[in-house]
């Protein structure tokens, strides 16, 4: 027991001394940390921080010129005939011969094809015999009628038979004439649908005749650009197949858009006196500004913005590369451009893309 008590008395002061040393160490660390924070605060208050400058906003720009509105717009079109006429027999029969070929020029009244007319000639012979008989009866009964010895009812019957025979004769002659197919108009033969030996049905086209003295170039125009084209918009037609260019004439504008492509068909009349342009040829079409728009300023439609109050403006980039809102007054549409009647001047630089990040005075780069 005495040994245990002695050990306890020796170790107790040592154990009690450990927390005291730890507390002294923590106190020194807290004091040092406080001195460090105070030094940093004093240093920070004594020196002002330099403000960081914002990087310029990258945008796409365009210099406004009067030539923008008259820049040509190119499209691809297809040459079409001015008018197509399908020529057919009025009756049914076997085609005896076709006298024209595809691509051949024909004149109005020219014989195109013939049908076997055997049945038509037989019908005509019967109609002529009936006409002869009716005329003979008319001559004999006329003498009796003039003498007053023929009842009026009988005389009316004789006159009716003459009229019927005459009508049948005219029909027979028409049927025989219809066995010959002639050109109703002048032009060129586009397609030959029936050949010799085939049976032609009523109203079934044998050939079609194309009028290409004047042709039309069909072009599909997007709905966003159709407003910039009028009936008198100048155009130039280039056809590589014939190696030539042609001046476009009057423009016919369609009023119904294609449901899938949202384009409108227009047709440009082109003089074709030499018949060089043929239906189906591919044409490159260029439109220029109409006379009423020459010399006007124009900007892309997407560059014009609208404020909440409805007023319009564009972003102008000044000489120091800063952006500024500039109110504008617009005119008519010219394809993807819109004419500007007030607010900007030629030579100014406008923002066409990237304006969503701009505010008044923002520095830009382009």
Distances, alpha carbon 49 to alpha carbons 40, 42, 164, in Å: 14, 14, 119
CATH fold for the domain made of 75-82+212-288: Elongation Factor Tu (Ef-tu); domain 3 (2.40.30)
Strands 57-58 and 263-271: unpaired
Intervals of CATH 1.10.287.470 along the chain:
117-178
pLDDT of residue 9: 43
pLDDT of residue 28: 52
Give every residue of the chain whose pLDDT is below 70, as ranges: 1-53, 66-73, 288-296, 332-336
Residue with tokens 């002061």: 13
Check if the beta carbon of residue 283 is closer than 8 Å to that of residue 218: no
Q: Spell out the long-range contacts of 353-356 with Cβ–Cβ below 8 A and sequence spacing 24 or more.
A: 353/59, 353/60, 353/302, 354/57, 354/58, 354/59, 354/60, 355/59, 355/303, 355/305, 355/315, 355/323
How far apart CA 4 and CA 263 sit, in angstroms, is 109
pLDDT of residue 49: 45
Domain 60-70+294-365 CATH class label: mainly beta
Q: Which CATH number fits domain 85-113+184-210: 3.30.342.10, 2.40.50.140, 3.30.470.10, 2.40.50.100?
A: 2.40.50.100
Q: Which residues pair with 111 in a beta bridge?
A: 182
Q: Which CATH number fits domain 117-178: 1.10.287.470, 1.10.260.40, 2.30.140.10, 1.20.1290.10?
A: 1.10.287.470
Nearest to 299 by CA among 57, 61, 58, 73: 61
Residue with tokens 């015999």: 129
pLDDT of residue 169: 94
Intervals of CATH 2.40.420.20 along the chain:
60-70+294-365
pLDDT of residue 95: 94
pLDDT of residue 145: 86
pLDDT of residue 225: 78
How far apart CA 235 and CA 237 sit, in angstroms, is 7
Digit-coded pLDDT (tens) for 245-284: 899 999 999 888 888 888 999 999 999 988 889 999 999 9
- Which tokens in the block code for residue 283? 């044409």
* 222-235 exposure pattern, b = at least 16 Cβ within 10 A, e = fewer: eeebbebbeeebbb
pTM, entire model: 0.52
Residue with tokens 């032609």: 200
């Amino acid at each position: 027991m005495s040994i245990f008590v002695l050990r306890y008395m020796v170790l107790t002061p040592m154990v009690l001394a450990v927390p005291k040393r730890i507390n002294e160490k923590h106190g020194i660390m807290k004091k040092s940390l406080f001195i460090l924070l105070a030094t940093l605060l004093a240093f920070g208050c004594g020196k002002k921080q330099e403000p960081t400058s914002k990087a310029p906003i990258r945008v796409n720009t365009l210099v406004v010129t009067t030539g923008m509105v008259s820049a040509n717009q190119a499209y691809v079109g297809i040459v079409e005939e001015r008018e197509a006429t399908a020529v057919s027999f009025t009756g049914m029969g076997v085609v005896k011969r076709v006298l024209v070929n595809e691509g051949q020029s024909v004149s109005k009244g020219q014989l195109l094809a013939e049908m076997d007319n055997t049945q038509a000639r037989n019908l005509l012979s019967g109609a002529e015999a009936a006409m002869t008989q009716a005329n003979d009866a008319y001559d004999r009964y006329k003498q009796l009628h003039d003498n007053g010895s023929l009842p009026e009812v009988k005389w009316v019957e004789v006159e009716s038979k003459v009229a019927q025979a005459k009508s049948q004769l005219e029909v027979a002659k028409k049927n025989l004439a219809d066995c010959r197919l002639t050109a109703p108009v002048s032009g060129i033969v586009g397609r030959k649908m029936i050949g010799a030996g085939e049976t032609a049905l009523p109203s079934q086209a044998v050939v079609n005749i194309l009028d290409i003295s004047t042709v039309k170039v069909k072009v599909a125009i997007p709905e966003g650009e159709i407003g910039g084209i009028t009936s008198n918009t100048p155009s130039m037609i280039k056809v590589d197949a014939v190696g030539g260019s042609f001046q476009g004439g009057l423009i016919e504008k369609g009023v119904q858009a294609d449901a899938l492509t949202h384009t409108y068909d227009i047709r440009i009349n082109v003089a074709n006196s030499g018949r060089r342009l043929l239906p189906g040829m591919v044409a490159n079409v260029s439109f220029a500004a109409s006379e009423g728009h020459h010399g006007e300023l124009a900007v892309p439609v997407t560059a014009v913005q609208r404020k909440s109050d409805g007023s319009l403006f564009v972003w102008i980039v000044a000489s120091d590369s800063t952006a500024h809102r500039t109110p504008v007054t617009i005119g008519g549409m010219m394809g993807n451009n819109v004419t500007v009647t007030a607010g900007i001047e030629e030579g100014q630089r406008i923002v066409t893309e990237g304006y969503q990040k701009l505010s008044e005075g923002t520095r830009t780069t382009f």
